[in-house]
Amino acid sequence: MKRRIVVAGIGAALLLAGCGEATEGVKGEEARQDGGWTASPRIRVVERQGDGVVVRGEASPGARVVLRGGQDLAFAVGADNAGRFELHVGQLPDAVIMTPEVQIGQFPAFGPERLLLAGEGAPLAALLVEGGASRRLSRGPVLDSVDGDGRGLAASGRATPGGQVRIVVDGGGEVTASADSAGRWVAALPGLSDRSASIVVGGTSFSYPGPGPAEVDTSGRIERSGEGWRVTRSLSGRARQTSWFPDA
């Protein structure tokens, strides 16, 4: 099958136990350009538009930004002189994980995150972070995601900037998380291995369905599980990460 490239015009942590450090920066010599380093793309906003979405973010000024969803699906746009890009992504499969990259000349630089788009019209948009808590971009409940590495769990969500959120697990273990200046909070769930559990956040109860299948490739497996979407990815070595996003 031929790769489909859609080119648009220029548009205006908590670490999980056993996963290691979250990937940051660019990868290897491929990212070098004229003796320097090409800034990897950073996705900031995803908004629904018609049958697709608009993805906005920052990259190196004038760089070509590409979102790849496998070998036969890619969308590209040029960043403006300030490094801002606006990428219009057309109709997509029901669920897809896309890899952001930038290109300056022949040198690609891959972003440290992966973009998840799931549901009809992509009502769920989130950034998957290797070894760290996912970052939900679309509307959601007080609990944005639960991330597990097979041994422990971390919950994350949004609240009033500077506010506190009380989290109770299986009616027993309790932890309080503080939201940062952007209203984001992340909390390791105490005394809980990566298994199904009842998680109450700010008085709202969620049923975490547990981890995904043991064997999965690096491209990831996306499926409906419980009342939400579950993504399972193979990381470096034998590590695996599950990210669960409750429905809005």
Strand pairing category for 73-78 and 4-7:
parallel
Going by their DSSP bridges, the two strands 124-129 and 113-118 should be labelled as antiparallel
Total count of domains within the chain: 2
pLDDT of 47: 92
pLDDT (tens digit per residue) in 52-91 = 899 999 998 988 999 988 777 889 999 999 999 999 988 7
pLDDT digits (tens, 9 = 90+) for 179-220: 999 999 999 987 777 788 999 999 999 999 998 887 777 778
Q: Are residues 114 and 195 in the same domain?
A: no
Q: Do 87 and 198 fall into the same domain?
A: no
* DSSP line for 89-125: E----SEEEEEEEEEETTEEEE-SEEEEEESTT--EE
Q: Degrees (nearest 5) of the Cα angle 53, 58, 64?
A: 80
Query: What average pLDDT score do residues 34-52 get?
Result: 76
221 is a domain residue: yes
Q: Among 21-25, 34-38, 57-61, 84-88, which is the least confidently predicted range?
A: 21-25
Q: What is the mean pLDDT of the chain?
A: 81
Any domain includes 135: no
What is the C-alpha to C-alpha distance for residues 195 and 212, in angstroms, rounded to an integer? 10
- Phi/psi at 186 (5° precision): -140, 140
Q: Which of 98, 129, 160 is the last residue of a domain?
A: 129
The residue segments making up the domain with residue 235 are 141-246
pLDDT at 1 over 60: no
Residues 99 and 211 in one domain: no
Q: Which of 116-120, 152-156, 216-220 has the lowest mean pLDDT?
A: 216-220
136 is a domain residue: no
Among all chains, which residue has been given the structure tokens 């506190």?
Answer: 164
How far apart, in whole angstroms, are the C-alpha atoms of residue 159 and residue 182?
9
User: In this structure, are 63 and 13 located in the same domain?
Assistant: yes
Q: Are residues 8 and 123 in the same domain?
A: yes
Q: Quick one: 185 and 121 in the same domain?
A: no
Does 161 lie in the same domain as 117?
Answer: no
Percent of the chain with pLDDT over 70: 82
Please indicate, yes or no, whether residues 78 and 148 belong to a single structural domain of this protein: no
Q: Are 216 and 232 contacting, i.e. CB atoms less than 8 angstroms apart?
A: yes
Question: What CATH code is carried by the domain that includes residue 57?
Answer: 2.60.40.10
Q: What is the pTM of this model?
A: 0.81
The pLDDT of residue 240 is above 70: yes
Q: Clarify whether residues 54 and 34 are in a common domain.
A: yes
